[in-house]
């Protein structure tokens, strides 16, 4: 049974299982990247196998693409799909207005493109991702390699005049070198502590030469599905005001994804 999972992983799985019910045969679906999104892919794979669910998916990273193919989900590119019925993805933080910080898993650029090319975005998360104000989680900013030190300096100078608690921008590292995104770029993680005006920050960051995209998702998320360690799931639709709480009974499932970030 799912009792063998940690409370956080049970919460992620519960949220993913609840969100998978939004997916219907014939849909074109964006698949996010990260630990919670990986649970979703597994849940959809089970539905493909057991129910004959017929969907076409657009993955937001090479990792998600590999997992989707592994569990039997047909994948395509966004250029081929053109427009999606919905995207389901995780988040590193979300606030009461369902604004998000994303990019902990390093796929924020493709995630934002796919999410904005969808009729709806559903976010799945465990309860620890809910915050009153964004900013405790470092904000990822994808930048090109050319002039990266200058871009970093410009970002820190910009932050000094904005309503944030910190201004430090650190290059993301992996295996002793700079992290490289699927698009061949790098990521600066901004340690802000608190973001007083997320909408303003999202706009001004993208005006800096060298910045490709930032991890603030403003007015993109439509539905939040929040899982809890006891199996309860809260769902909130910001457009309709609909809210409900259900309990998801998890089957036994291998804990394969606890080391990934959203």
Residue 184 is labelled as binding a ligand: no
Query: Is 170 annotated in the active site?
Result: no
Residue 36 is labelled as binding a ligand: yes
Residue 145 is labelled as binding a ligand: no
Residue 108 in contact with residue 214, Cβ under 8 Å? yes
Residue 222 is labelled as binding a ligand: no
Candidates 48, 20, 49; CA nearest to 32 is 20
Given 24, 70, 93, 111, which residue is catalytic?
111
Residues 6+ apart with CB under 8 A from 159: 166, 167, 169, 190, 192
Residue 105 in contact with residue 262, Cβ under 8 Å? yes
Residue 45 is labelled as binding a ligand: no
Interatomic CA distance for residues 191 and 18, integer angstroms? 33
Residue 229 is labelled as binding a ligand: no
Which tokens go with 128?
């620890």
Residue 102 is labelled as binding a ligand: yes
Residue 79 is labelled as binding a ligand: no
Binding-site annotation: residue ranges = 33-36, 89-92, 102-105, 129
Which residues are part of a known binding site for substrate? 33-36, 89-92, 102-105, 129
List active site positions.
111
């Amino acid at each position: 049974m799912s009792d063998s999972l940690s409370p956080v992983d049970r919460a992620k799985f519960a949220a993913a299982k609840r969100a998978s019910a939004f997916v219907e045969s014939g849909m074109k679906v964006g698949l996010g990247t990260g630990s919670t999104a990986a649970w979703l892919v597994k849940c959809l794979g089970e539905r493909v196998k057991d129910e004959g669910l017929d969907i076409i998916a657009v993955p937001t990273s090479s990792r998600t693409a590999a997992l989707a193919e592994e569990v039997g989900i047909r994948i395509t590119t966004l250029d081929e799909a053109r427009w999606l019925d919905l995207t389901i993805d995780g988040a590193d933080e979300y606030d009461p207005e369902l604004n998000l910080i994303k990019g902990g898993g390093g796929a924020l650029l493709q995630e934002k493109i796919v999410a904005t090319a969808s009729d709806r975005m559903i976010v799945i998360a465990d309860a620890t991702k809910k915050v009153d104000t964004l900013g405790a989680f470092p904000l990822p900013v994808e930048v090109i390699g050319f002039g990266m030190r200058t871009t970093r300096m410009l970002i820190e100078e910009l932050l000094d005049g904005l309503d944030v608690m910190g201004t430090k921008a650190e290059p993301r590292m992996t295996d002793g070198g700079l992290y490289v995104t699927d698009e061949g770029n790098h990521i600066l993680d901004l340690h802000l502590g608190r973001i007083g005006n997320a909408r303003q920050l999202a706009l001004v960051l993208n005006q800096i030469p060298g910045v490709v995209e930032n991890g603030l998702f403003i007015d993109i998320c439509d539905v939040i599905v929040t899982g809890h360690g006891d199996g309860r799931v809260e769902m909130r639709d910001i457009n309709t005001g609909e809210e409900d709480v259900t309990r998801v009974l998890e089957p036994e499932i291998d804990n394969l994804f606890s080391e990934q970030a959203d």
